[in-house]
Structure 1
């Protein structure tokens, strides 16, 4: 039971030591579990992250979401940098893309396995601060790189460290917000992160045009150094870590050293941590149908943007765009992201209706955006595939309009499915999302490598049609989740246990 936390026991009378410690618990807003073996949060404890003041939540979530925006934009910025750096280093195009884009994503994939479990076991804040500071150093290394080896080291480790905001932010949001508020926060996070994907190529090409490719990474180092300083001002948000600190304080003040915090993340030794925690994302991916399907669909949608960093500029250059302006159609994807606001408003209405009717809120009640986004992604890709050269010659605005639909759909896949994982796995949301990140990073690393060859060999129309056909297959998943998601969660030991721990240790009235 080391992974899933301590079992629930019947109510027992207090011992003498437990009676003596009660004043300390009352002063700290804590209480014993029914079996009187552990200490947990009491209702509405102000120190629990769910009950922090709005100003504190805004600062902490705003900063870590901006961090994810920026590191994501630096990730896709590597495509334009690779195209300009390859002449300096004498590289072919594929090797340059591998060094500047894919290597970073391989690092992120590895970090995505390690860091979420670390954040669940040891807390979030230290990881954010240390990783961002080191990220700044490795960006500077790339910006000052005297050799290919320095570029490879800098891009790999910057990608490795960028896994922390990429996968831990979902867990931080779950720490601080219940289901009603998470709808908006997960949406904001997904919009911002995906906007970073689309803005990265634009940012880099204009920096390169005015300065050089090295300044893309020098500026990144400066910005993340500033963010590192600001991160010292956030609080630890992992409830179990905060609770451990509170209980340690009571142990010191009361002199009773046998007090134990209710900690579902506890691992007794390093071997158990490695065996149960570090491999938890992989275990979830291969044993949990929801995690497997969410990871696959999110990965394809996310990697599509990386593929477009290589595929879109040549298409629009064939339509008469300059090298610099050929990256501007990514703005259409950004516009599409914003239309997700309409879906979130409808989500909010659905939640209010269920609450008014007294119906318990289920994760499947918030799948509207995914249900709409799946067919829209297919339509957008088919539309794009047959409104571009060489088979079709129409005004560039026609194909660009399709990118708006694609942008909307990609964001719905990301935000809705991330929210579905958070609601389904609660305290294990970061590990569940790490499984998503594992596949997403590997696909994002691979797609740019074959994008140019694929579009050159098959032609842009046929190559885009293959993507559209895959998106069409995804349309069968939304009704599957809506009709059978609750039953699938019901047989998952992780989903059941995380819900049980939440209900025993939760502090808000509004459900998940």
Structure 2
């Protein structure tokens, strides 16, 4: 007899089935249950080729590759304009510093609002349609940014582009959970986060030379070309991986072939829709795990964009960097991020397998152990970067220590995100959307508040303050490492 899971309420017929659903979210799925009637459909055995978990290696590579590139382009777009901001402000005759700061931060603020709608919709209607719609809207408003006649229109278009561009950054974790089993998920998630974190670092390197040579508008035309190519590739080559959506289509196909063999209940579509939309907010409010880690990630993410903002003043002001070579100041951060990602791509799955073997069971909390490596790296990087920049020590020194900061950011961010996917596998996209809300608000607002702080305290004490705060809050993820399972089970979020 086929086994089933209630898609919206997440209930299973037994504890054993619940464990199986976490390991393989597509193995045990049914249609929506909104009335007493219930339509049951399942895969044709464990090796059903239609099950995304059983797709060929090449098909998985294509799908995860497309999603990872999409997740790279959006963060790239967030920072590519940074070196060209002075040129943009001059072109629009804008001198108000808060407004100029919005050129970068408003795009990141869009990351907070877009996923609240797009992520739960991907769990209701499937991943592919959300990717395609988001790509088209993001592309259209990026064109609008390139053609903007004034800074007000530019900021509005930039915000909307950020809202829809955030889709692959949050839905990507769900797409990986659709296709990759828990034991191997760490490496695949690391590939996704490589684009998410290297995008903001590579962006200014590219943007500096383009803005200097061709003007700031060509920065956006480059993004239009990249987004346009990926929009086409996504439309033709990305396959649907959301198991409930695939099984729903399978049921529809079988109903046509077998004259409605599978009963289809009269679902309250409106109730289902609004319950899905409310899911990320409910997770953020009702789950201490989601709330706590979201606040921690918000601080870490805010530091990343605060550093981007300071680079545009520190290196030109303290070391005389021009617009063209300003982007090279981001390379230290990029190298630190890259090395940390390479290490985590192996270490995360290795530690998960080792602890599972040692304790005889698999727990999402095992993913949090690499956080220990990031605790000292982040404050060390901030302290040395701040004081060497303050006293104008040779420019290579602060750039090297921004690499420590970058590695610390990765060791803090990636394990917590993988943990979210493993802990809320069926609703991974909504869990990532919940964390995205808080961190994106911090990422957009902290740079605005940070500039006055540096003006008052200087680069030395300003970055030292940030380092002390990072050291103080680093105890939070360690608490979740020890007590995460108890909190997760005690405050389990219901979606009925």
The answer (yes or no) to whether the contact 1:191–1:411 under 8 Å persists in 2 is no
Match of 1:109 among 76, 101, 112: 112
CA 1:222–1:36 in 2, change beyond 3 Å: closer, same or farther? Answer: closer
Corresponding residue number in structure 1 for 2:22: none
Q: Deviations for 1:395-435, whole angstroms, at most 9, x for unmatched residues? A: 22222222111111111222111100001111111111101
* TM-score normalised according to structure 2 size: 0.88
The answer (yes or no) to whether the contact 1:97–1:448 under 8 Å persists in 2 is no
Match of 1:90 among 90, 93, 105: 93
Structure 2 regions of 5+ residues with no counterpart?
1-5, 16-26, 32-36
CA 1:298–1:32 in 2, change beyond 3 Å: closer, same or farther? Answer: closer
Q: How does 1:133-282 map to 2 (within 5 A)?
A: 133-232=136-235, 233-256=237-260, 258-259=262-263, 268-274=268-274, 276-282=275-281
* Structure 1 runs of 4+ with >6 Å offset: 29-33
**Whole-Å separation in 2 of the counterparts to 1:32 and 1:408:** 42
**Whole-Å separation in 2 of the counterparts to 1:31 and 1:129:** 25
Identify the range of structure 1 (233-242 vs 251-260) with the bigger mean alpha-carbon deviation. 251-260
Deviation at residue 382 of structure 1 after TM alignment:
2.2
Structure 1 regions of 5+ residues with no counterpart?
11-28, 499-512
Q: Deviations for 1:333-379, whole angstroms, at most 9, x for unmatched residues? A: 11111222224423333334345557212112222321211232122
Q: Deviations for 1:149-180, whole angstroms, at most 9, x for unmatched residues? A: 43133212111111211211111111111122
CA 1:137–1:31 in 2, change beyond 3 Å: closer, same or farther? Answer: closer
Deviation at residue 223 of structure 1 after TM alignment:
1.2
**Whole-Å separation in 1 of the counterparts to 2:264 and 2:337:** 46
**Whole-Å separation in 1 of the counterparts to 2:67 and 2:430:** 18
Corresponding residue number in structure 1 for 2:124: 121
The answer (yes or no) to whether the contact 1:247–1:259 under 8 Å persists in 2 is no
CA 1:405–1:59 in 2, change beyond 3 Å: closer, same or farther? Answer: same
The answer (yes or no) to whether the contact 1:387–1:393 under 8 Å persists in 2 is yes
**Whole-Å separation in 1 of the counterparts to 2:273 and 2:375:** 38
**Whole-Å separation in 1 of the counterparts to 2:363 and 2:440:** 29
**Whole-Å separation in 2 of the counterparts to 1:426 and 1:166:** 16
The answer (yes or no) to whether the contact 1:109–1:439 under 8 Å persists in 2 is yes
Corresponding residue number in structure 2 for 1:38: 40
CA RMSD of aligned residues (A): 2.6
Q: How does 1:71-470 map to 2 (within 5 A)?
A: 71-232=74-235, 233-256=237-260, 258-259=262-263, 268-274=268-274, 276-324=275-323, 325-340=325-340, 341-354=342-355, 359-389=360-390, 392-470=391-469
Deviation at residue 54 of structure 1 after TM alignment:
0.9
CA 1:356–1:395 in 2, change beyond 3 Å: closer, same or farther? Answer: same
The answer (yes or no) to whether the contact 1:197–1:305 under 8 Å persists in 2 is no
CA 1:79–1:96 in 2, change beyond 3 Å: closer, same or farther? Answer: farther
The answer (yes or no) to whether the contact 1:69–1:196 under 8 Å persists in 2 is yes
Deviation at residue 257 of structure 1 after TM alignment:
5.1
Q: May I ask how many residue pairs the two structures share in their alignment? A: 471
**Whole-Å separation in 2 of the counterparts to 1:162 and 1:377:** 28
Deviation at residue 105 of structure 1 after TM alignment:
2.4
**Whole-Å separation in 2 of the counterparts to 1:164 and 1:307:** 23
Corresponding residue number in structure 1 for 2:18: none
CA 1:402–1:46 in 2, change beyond 3 Å: closer, same or farther? Answer: same
SS across alignment from 1:230: helix
**Whole-Å separation in 2 of the counterparts to 1:123 and 1:172:** 10
**Whole-Å separation in 2 of the counterparts to 1:318 and 1:31:** 58
The answer (yes or no) to whether the contact 2:336–2:405 under 8 Å persists in 1 is yes
* TM-score normalised according to structure 1 size: 0.86
Deviation at residue 129 of structure 1 after TM alignment:
1.3
